[in-house]
């Protein structure tokens, strides 16, 4: 019922930018010793977020939990999972600050990637339209002009190259769309084990997801240990949540390993998509009794490394995109001007 009420007031799903802004302002208010209720009431006066804050306040007054409110209003699953862990650790402000950093990093990467790919995709579409137009309208006109001059010159070769190029562009575009649809379907329908196996075999995704999963697991373990939980209790709590399937899957594997009598290091040792440095840190920290502190420090380092990794990925993509852009522009001019030069030479 509440969800239906929300849908009537806010027709479209919250975008990531709005979610990041909302969490950022909430975290800042909580840092200043406001309660959650006070923070939300303060946000009701915000011109951008006032309506959303009022809906939160109304839902909380009707007895809906904070976690369910975030779920109700279509926030990212990672937001709901962090609120689940904050209930267990009692550190809501710290979780929101860390969560805001992760979502901000994701938003910046997505924004830069969209800007980088928007123009090439547009230009690719324009190229295909122009090539079809050349083949449909200009090529017959050039052919008639050449025949009226009693020669065809290199027109057959030009026509063949044009058709081959047009076919390659169409194959590339259709192949890209099919690949994106297959990846989307795989992501929606596959199990956690299948996704992890795919991430392990995909070079670009492997490094990013390895860092992300390790950082998330490290942070949640650190926050739970700092709240007084034992390592076994912390792993069981992570296993109970179902908002982050990947770390839930790893927590279930860890639980099974620990129940057989394995040490914590050996339980982590053979897990896929977990950084080897993290596993070695687990071994050293358990021996020295500094696990909670070391996990927190590792999380901060892992987030910094992930930011650098995403920047390096963008640096790799940019030159490739610019080269493709240049080739497409040269191709358009070449196909447009070549027949004209041929006609001039025949005069």
pLDDT for residue 152: 60
Mean pLDDT of all residues in 245-272: 91
pLDDT at 79 over 60: yes
pLDDT value at residue 4: 40
* Letter string b/e over residues 116-125, b meaning 16 or more CB atoms within 10 A of that residue's CB: eeeeeeeebe
Is 293 exposed, middle or buried (CB count within 10 Å of its CB: 0-12, 13-18, 19+)? middle
Note the pLDDT tens digit of each residue in 262-306.
999 999 988 988 999 999 999 999 989 899 899 989 988 888 888
Could you tell me if 302 and 215 are in contact, meaning their C-beta atoms sit under 8 angstroms apart? yes
Domain with CATH 1.20.81.30 in the chain: 77-347
Torsion on CA atoms 283, 289, 293, 295, rounded to nearest 10 = 20
Element spanning 261, H or E: none
> Of 102, 44, 65, whose CA–CA distance to 220 is shortest?
102
The residue with greater pLDDT, 9 or 64, is 64
Amino acid 153: pLDDT: 61
Phi and psi dihedrals of 296, rounded to 5?
A: -65, -45
> What pLDDT was estimated at residue 12?
53
Is residue 74 within 8 Å of residue 7, measured between CB atoms? Answer: no
pLDDT for 254 beyond 90: yes
- Residue 290 confidence (pLDDT): 92
What residues contact residue 289 under an 8 Å CB cut-off, 6+ apart?
none
Q: Is 255 helix (H, G, I), strand (E, B) or coil?
A: helix
Residue 1 has pLDDT above 50, yes or no: no
Least confident of 114-118, 148-152, 327-331: 148-152
CATH number for the domain formed by residue range(s) 77-347: 1.20.81.30
Tokens of 143: 């052919």
Report whether pLDDT(63) > 70: yes
**Average pLDDT of the segment spanning 235-242:** 89
DSSP class per residue in 115-169: HHHHHHHHHHHHHHHHHHHIIIIIHHHHHHHHHHTT--TTHHHHHHHHHHHHHHH
Residue 148 burial (C-beta neighbours within 10 Å; 0-12, 13-18, 19+): exposed
Q: 100 with 23: CB under 8 angstroms?
A: yes
pLDDT tens track for 104-146: 888 888 888 788 778 777 777 777 787 777 777 777 777 777 6
Supply the pLDDT for residue 5: 39
In this prediction the pTM is 0.71
- Kindly state the average pLDDT of the residues 28-41: 86
Query: What is the residue-wise DSSP string for 329-340?
Result: HHHHHHHHHHHH
Task: Convert the pLDDT of each residue in 204-232 to its tens digit.
Answer: 778 888 888 998 899 889 888 988 889 99
């Amino acid at each position: 019922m509440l969800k239906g009420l929300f849908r009537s007031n806010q027709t479209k799903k919250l975008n990531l930018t709005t979610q990041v802004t909302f969490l950022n302002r909430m975290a800042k208010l909580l840092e200043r010793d406001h309660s959650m209720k006070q923070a939300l009431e303060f946000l009701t006066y915000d011109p951008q977020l006032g309506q959303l804050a009022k809906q939160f306040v109304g839902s909380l007054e009707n007895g809906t939990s904070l976690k369910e409110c975030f779920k109700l209003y279509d926030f990212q699953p990672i937001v709901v999972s962090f609120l689940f862990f904050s209930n267990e650790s009692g550190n809501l402000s710290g979780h929101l600050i860390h969560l805001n950093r992760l979502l901000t990093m994701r938003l910046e990467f997505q924004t830069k990637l969209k800007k980088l790919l928007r123009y090439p995709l547009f230009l690719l579409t324009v190229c295909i339209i122009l090539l079809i137009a050349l083949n449909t309208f200009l090529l017959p006109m050039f052919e008639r002009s050449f025949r009226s001059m009693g020669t065809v010159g290199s027109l057959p070769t030009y026509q063949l190259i044009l058709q081959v190029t047009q076919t390659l562009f169409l194959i590339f575009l259709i192949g890209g769309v099919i690949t994106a649809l297959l990846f989307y379907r795989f992501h929606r329908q596959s199990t956690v084990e299948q996704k992890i196996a795919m991430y392990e075999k995909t070079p670009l995704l492997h490094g990013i997801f390895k860092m992300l999963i390790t950082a998330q697991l490290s942070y949640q373990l650190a926050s739970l240990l700092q709240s007084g939980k034992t390592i076994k209790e912390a792993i069981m709590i992570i296993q109970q949540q179902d908002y982050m399937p990947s770390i839930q899957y790893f927590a279930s594997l860890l639980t099974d390993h620990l129940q057989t009598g394995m040490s914590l290091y050996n339980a982590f040792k053979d897990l896929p998509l977990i950084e080897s440095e993290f596993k070695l840190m687990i071994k050293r920290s358990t021996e020295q009794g500094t696990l909670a502190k070391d996990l927190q420090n590792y999380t901060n380092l892992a987030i910094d490394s992930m930011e650098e990794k995403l920047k390096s990925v963008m640096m790799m993509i940019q030159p490739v995109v610019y080269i493709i852009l240049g080739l497409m522009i040269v191709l358009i001019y070449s196909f447009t001007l070549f027949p004209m030069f041929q006609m001039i030479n025949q005069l």
